[in-house]
Amino acid sequence: MATRNLRHEAKKDDGPVDGATMTRLMDELKLAFTAEFRTFAASLESRLDGIQLAVTDHTQRLASVEDGLNTWSGRMVELEARCTAQDEVIGKLKTKLTDVESRSRRSNIRILGLDESLHSDHPSVFFAEILVEIMGKDVLPEPPELDRCHRMPTPRPAPGSRPRAVIARLHRYRIKETIILEARKRRGKLT
C-alpha cells in the first residue's frame, strides 16, 4: 500500500527530484518493504507453525502405529506358531481316531438278507441265535456273545425290496474270524 502511495506521489510531482527527496522516498520504500516482508514472514511463520504441529502429530501417530504393528506382528507370529502346533496335534488326533474307529469296527460283521420282519425286544440275543441257526452247531456250538446288534441306520425299505443289513459286534474277535471263514467257504449257500 505504501508503494502505491509513493508511485502516486512520484507521478504528481514530475519535476526534478533532489537527493533529499530521493533519500526520503528510498527510506519510505524501505520501511514499506520491511513492513510487507514482516507481515508476509509472520503469516508464513504461523502457517509453518501449523504445519510443524501437524507433522509432529503425524510423527507421534506414526510411532504409535509402528509400536502397535510391532505388538500385533509379534502376536501374529505367536498365533501362527500355535496354529501350526495345533494342526500337528489335530493331525495326530485324526490318525489316532481313524485307528480307534478301525479297531472298533474290526469285530463287526454284516449279516445280509435277513427279512425286516425278523426282530425282537433283545436284538443281541435274537441275532446270536440266528447266527447259530445259519452257521450250524458244528461251527458255533453256542450263541456267540454280541456286544451290540442293530439294523443299518437307513430308512426302512418298501415291502418286497432288499432288507437292511444287520450289524453285529462280536465280543470275541476269534469267533468273528470263524464266522467269516465259514461264510467264505459256503459263499452263496448260506440260508
- In this prediction, residues 95-99 reach a mean pLDDT of 95
pLDDT surpassing 70 at residue 50: yes
- Angle in degrees, CA 187, 190, 191, rounded to 5: 160
Q: Which residue has the higher pLDDT, 59 or 11?
A: 59
Average pLDDT, the chain: 87
**Domain residue spans in the chain?**
69-105, 108-185
pLDDT number for residue 16: 74
CA nearest 7: which of 25, 23, 24?
A: 25
pLDDT number for residue 87: 97
pLDDT surpassing 70 at residue 189: no
Task: Give me the amino acid identity at 108.
Answer: N
pLDDT surpassing 90 at residue 88: yes
> Among positive and negative, which fits the CA dihedral 170, 174, 176, 178?
negative
Percent of the chain with pLDDT over 70: 90
Three-class DSSP category at 118 = coil
* CATH code at 108-185: 3.30.70.1820
Find out whether 128 and 147 touch, Cβ atoms under 8 Å: no
CA nearest 38: which of 71, 92, 2, 84?
A: 2
Separation between Cα atoms, residue 72 and residue 115, nearest integer Å? 65
> Which residues, listed in sequence order, are joined to residue 109 by a DSSP beta bridge?
168
Say if pTM beats, i.e. exceeds, 0.85.
Answer: no
pLDDT surpassing 70 at residue 150: yes
pLDDT surpassing 80 at residue 118: no
CA nearest 174: which of 138, 140, 131, 135?
A: 140
pLDDT number for residue 4: 55
